[in-house]
C-alpha cells in the first residue's frame, strides 16, 4: 500500500480528514511529531468534553466525550494504557448495553500529565472533575488548584471526598465557578455555611443542612435534588408559591427528601394526600444532568398544578425508599405520559 502523505494535503482537505478521526486516532497521530501535534486542533477538537475522575488512591480515569462516543483511559497502567470506547445513542445517552470496544494508548507519564497533554493538543478546556469517597481532601485541593492554573470555571464537579474540610471547600467554591452541575455527596461539619453567588444549572446535595430556605428561594436551577434535608411543608409552600406566581422559569425538576415533611399536611395548595391514588398517571422526563447524560425522572400518581404563565407541573409527596420526599416535574410536550 502506498504511503498517504497527510501533511501535503491542502489545508481544507487536511481539516476534513482530521474531523472524521476519533479522539484516540487523533492522539496517536499527535505523537508522530511536534509539527503534527500542532495541527490536531484543526479537526475542531475544542468542543470535546474532557473529564478527569480520581476514584481512589491509584484508580484514575480520563474520559474524552464526543457526540458519538466516549473514550475512557484507565489508570493505573504501565506504558500501555487500556482504552474503553462506548458509543452514544441518537439521544446522546451512553449505550451501556453494548459491549465497549477495547483499544490501547502508549504513554509514559502520569494521568494528570496525560490530561495536560490532551487539553493542550486539542485546545479544549477541562469539562468536569470527580473525586471518589476515598479521595483525600488534600488531593482534592491539589486537583482544583491544577484546574485553576488553566481556567476559572468548570462545567461539572462531583465531590464525594470523606472528611471534607468546610473552610477549604468554601475556598474551592469561591475560586472555581461550577456552571452546569454540582454534585456534593460529602458530609460537611454541622456549622458549615455557604451562600452561592450564582447557582449551577443543576445541583444534587446529600445532607444539605447548609442550604436553607433563603437560598432555596434564591436559586434559579433547572434541576434540584436535596437528600436528607431539613425542609418542612411550610418551607416548600413558600417555594411553590413563588413558582405559581411565575418565578423559576428555568425549573424542570425538584426532589426534596426530609424527615420533617408531613404527609398529612398540604403542599403547594394541594390537600393531603399530595398524590393521585384513584386514577394515577405516570409522567417520565429525561433531564440533562451530568457529563452529557440524562437522568430519567418518573412520577407515578402525581397531582397537576399550574402557574400564572400557564406552565403545568406535577407534584407528589409520599414515603419512598430513602425517606419522605416531595417530587416535582414541569411537564412539556416532549414528556412521556402513561
In a domain, 198, yes or no: no
In a domain, 62, yes or no: yes
* DSSP calls for 140-206: HHHHHHHHHTT-SEEEEEEE--SS--HHHHHHHHHHSEEEEEEEE-SPPPTT-----SS--SEEEEE
CA-to-CA dists, residue 216 to 111, 196, 199, 226, 324, angstroms:
38, 10, 10, 10, 19
Nearest to 9 by CA among 42, 31, 34: 42
In a domain, 22, yes or no: yes
The whole-angstrom separation of Cα 338 and Cα 329 is: 15
Q: 78 in helix, strand or coil? A: coil
- pLDDT tens, residue order, the chain (338 aa): 467 677 788 889 999 999 999 999 999 999 999 999 999 999 999 999 899 988 766 678 899 987 778 888 988 766 688 888 877 665 545 544 457 788 989 998 888 899 999 999 999 999 999 887 777 788 888 889 999 999 999 999 999 887 788 888 999 999 999 999 999 988 888 788 899 989 999 999 998 888 999 999 999 999 999 999 999 999 999 999 999 999 999 999 999 999 999 999 999 999 999 999 887 888 877 666 555 456 677 888 999 999 999 999 999 999 999 899 999 999 874 454 55
Within 8 A by CB and 6+ apart from 3, the residues are none
Contact in structure between 76 and 303 (CB atoms under 8 Å)? no
CA dihedral of residues 65, 185, 199, 54 (deg, nearest 10): -40
- pLDDT on residue 333: 46
Nearest to 43 by CA among 7, 10, 14, 85: 14
In a domain, 20, yes or no: yes
CA-to-CA dists, residue 183 to 214, 226, 227, 231, 258, angstroms:
20, 10, 12, 19, 18
Residue identified by cell 487536511 is: 14
Dihedrals phi, psi of 187, to nearest 5 degrees:
-90, 125
In a domain, 42, yes or no: yes
- pLDDT on residue 289: 57
In a domain, 240, yes or no: no
Within 8 A by CB and 6+ apart from 89, the residues are 95
- pLDDT on residue 78: 65
- For residue 18, say if its preceding peptide bond is cis, omega within 30 degrees of 0: no
Q: Is 165 left (phi over 0), alpha (psi -120 to 50) or beta?
A: beta
- By DSSP bridging, strand 153-159 and strand 177-184 are parallel
Nearest to 161 by CA among 206, 120, 107, 197: 206
Rounded to two decimals, the pTM is 0.88
The whole-angstrom separation of Cα 287 and Cα 45 is: 26
Contact in structure between 133 and 55 (CB atoms under 8 Å)? no
The whole-angstrom separation of Cα 45 and Cα 118 is: 10
Our count of domains for the chain comes to 1
In a domain, 7, yes or no: yes
Nearest to 328 by CA among 272, 238, 267: 267
Burial 122-144 (b: 16+ CB within 10 A, else e): bebbbbbbbbbeebebeebbebb
- What is the domain extent for residue 76? 1-124
In a domain, 149, yes or no: no
The DSSP symbol for 94 reads B
Amino acid at each position: 500500500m502506498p504511503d498517504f502523505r497527510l501533511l501535503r494535503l491542502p489545508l481544507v482537505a487536511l481539516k476534513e480528514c482530521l474531523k472524521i478521526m476519533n479522539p484516540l486516532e487523533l492522539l496517536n497521530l499527535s505523537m508522530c511529531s511536534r509539527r503534527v501535534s500542532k495541527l490536531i486542533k484543526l479537526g475542531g477538537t475544542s468542543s470535546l468534553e474532557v473529564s478527569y475522575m480520581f476514584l481512589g488512591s491509584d484508580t484514575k480515569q480520563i474520559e474524552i466525550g464526543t457526540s458519538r462516543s466516549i473514550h475512557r483511559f484507565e489508570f493505573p497502567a504501565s506504558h500501555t494504557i487500556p482504552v474503553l470506547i462506548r458509543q452514544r445513542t441518537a439521544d446522546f445517552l451512553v449505550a451501556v448495553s453494548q459491549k465497549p470496544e477495547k483499544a490501547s494508548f502508549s504513554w509514559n507519564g502520569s494521568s494528570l500529565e496525560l490530561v495536560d497533554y490532551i487539553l493542550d493538543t486539542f485546545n479544549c478546556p477541562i469539562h468536569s472533575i470527580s473525586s471518589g469517597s476515598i479521595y483525600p481532601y488534600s488531593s482534592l485541593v491539589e486537583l482544583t488548584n491544577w484546574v485553576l492554573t488553566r481556567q476559572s470555571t468548570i462545567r461539572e464537579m462531583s465531590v464525594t471526598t470523606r472528611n471534607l474540610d468546610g473552610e477549604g471547600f468554601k475556598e474551592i467554591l469561591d475560586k472555581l465557578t461550577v456552571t452546569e452541575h454540582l454534585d456534593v455527596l460529602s458530609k460537611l461539619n454541622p456549622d458549615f455555611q455557604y451562600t452561592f453567588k450564582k447557582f449551577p444549572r443543576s445541583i444534587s446535595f446529600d445532607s444539605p443542612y447548609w442550604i436553607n430556605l433563603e437560598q432555596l428561594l434564591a436559586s434559579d436551577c433547572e434541576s434540584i435534588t436535596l437528600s436528607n434535608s431539613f425542609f418542612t411543608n411550610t418551607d416548600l409552600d413558600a417555594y411553590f408559591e413563588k413558582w405559581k406566581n411565575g418565578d423559576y422559569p428555568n425549573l424542570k425538576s425538584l426532589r426534596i427528601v426530609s424527615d420533617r415533611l408531613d404527609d398529612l399536611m398540604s403542599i403547594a395548595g394541594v390537600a393531603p394526600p399530595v398524590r393521585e391514588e384513584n386514577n394515577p398517571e405516570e409522567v417520565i422526563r429525561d433531564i440533562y444532568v451530568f457529563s452529557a447524560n440524562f437522568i430519567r425522572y418518573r412520577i407515578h400518581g402525581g397531582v397537576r398544578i399550574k402557574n400564572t404563565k400557564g406552565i403545568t407541573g406535577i407534584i407528589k409527596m409520599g414515603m419512598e425508599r430513602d425517606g419522605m420526599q416531595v417530587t416535582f416535574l414541569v411537564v412539556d410536550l416532549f414528556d412521556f405520559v402513561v
